[in-house]
A = this chain, B = another copy of it.
Amino acid sequence: MIAAHICSGCAVRDRALCASLDDVELDTLNALGQRRRLTRGQTLVWAGEESLVCANLLSGVLKLSAVTPDGREQVVGLLYPADFVGRPWAELADFTVTALGDVELCVFPRKPFERVLEDHVRMERLLLQRTLAALEEARGRMLALARLSAREKLAGFLLDMADRVQGCRATASGPVTFDFPLTRGEMAEVLGLTIETVSRQLSRLKAEGAINLMGARGITIRDRALLEAA
């Protein structure tokens, strides 16, 4: 019951892929796994390098990014607690995985993890369902990147963040206040913009009364409807 003990305090025990395993099966997986911490800016995987690991994200936020040969960068996905990291059966890593803040992971060597996956149909099915969901999300993001204006991208992004990173709010429908887990530069990478454009659009939304900015990190959504209109 050692594994059950290790995992019993796990914040994502019943939300990550592990949710498909019983305590005994969890033992097998745990024999392979290893906790790991990353601090802001540290990279777990480099695009193009050999793909050695898969992982479950326990806490914090990771970014998945792609780079053109000449150095232009684009964040192609954000990973939140309970999300799965890595690509089983791929020899090379597709994208670079970097911590946006302090991060805790449950890391598994890829090959043995593949074997566990192959032996546990329910886990494999859960991964399939999540991958299908991730694919839908990525495709939705394609629409946003290609067809929305900078203003629309920002508004959508702020609403998304507000739902995910729940901060304090006075009343249920009232203004929400929280801290960005991303810098302006990282937001620009996510939205396919430049840092200056992000800053300008935020200033504009502030001037219009839709949001309020406190310092570089703090933000309050003052008028949700106004954001949704964009």
CA distance A201 to B143 in the complex (A): 22
Please tell me the size bucket of the interface on A. Answer: 35 or more
Q: Are B88 and A142 in contact (CB under 8 A)?
A: no
CB distance A140 to B68 under 8 Å? no
Bound complex: CA A111 to CA B172 (Å): 38
Copies in the complex: 2
Minimum CB–CB distance for A223 against chain B, Å: 19
Contact check, B95 vs A129: say whether CB atoms are below 8 A apart. Answer: no
How far apart are the CA atoms of A138 and B121 in the complex, in Å? 26
Taking a contact as CB atoms closer than 8 A, the residue among B64, B68, B88, B134 that contacts A147 in the complex is: B68
Q: Is the interface of A mostly helix, strand, loop or mixed?
A: helix
Q: Which of B64, B67, B134, B145 contacts A192 (CB 8 A)?
A: B145
A139/B192 in contact, CB under 8 A: no
Contacts of A66 in B (CB 8 A): 139-140, 142-143
Q: Find the B residue at minimum CB distance from A95.
A: B139
Cβ distance A187 to chain B, nearest Cβ, rounded Å:
13
Complex Cα distance, B141 from A139, in Å, reads 9
The yes or no answer to A124 lying at the interface (CB within 8 A) is: yes
- A87 part of interface (Cβ distance < 8 Å): yes
Which of these, B72, B135, B141, B145, contacts A131 with CB under 8 Å? B135
> Does A76 make an interface contact (CB < 8 A)?
yes
Whole-angstrom distance between the Cβ of A142 and the nearest chain B Cβ:
5
Please give 20 more A-B residue pairs, beta carbons under 8 A apart, in addition to A74-B147, A94-B140, A145-B146. Answer: A68-B147, A72-B147, A76-B139, A76-B143, A77-B139, A90-B136, A94-B139, A121-B124, A124-B124, A124-B128, A131-B131, A131-B135, A138-B138, A138-B139, A138-B142, A141-B142, A142-B145, A145-B145, A145-B192, A147-B192
Can you list 16 A-B pairs with a CB-CB distance of less than 8 A?
A67-B143, A68-B147, A74-B142, A74-B143, A74-B146, A76-B142, A76-B143, A77-B139, A87-B136, A94-B139, A118-B125, A135-B135, A138-B138, A141-B142, A142-B192, A147-B192
The 7 closest A-B pairs by CB, nearest first: A146-B192, A76-B139, A138-B138, A66-B143, A72-B147, A74-B143, A128-B128
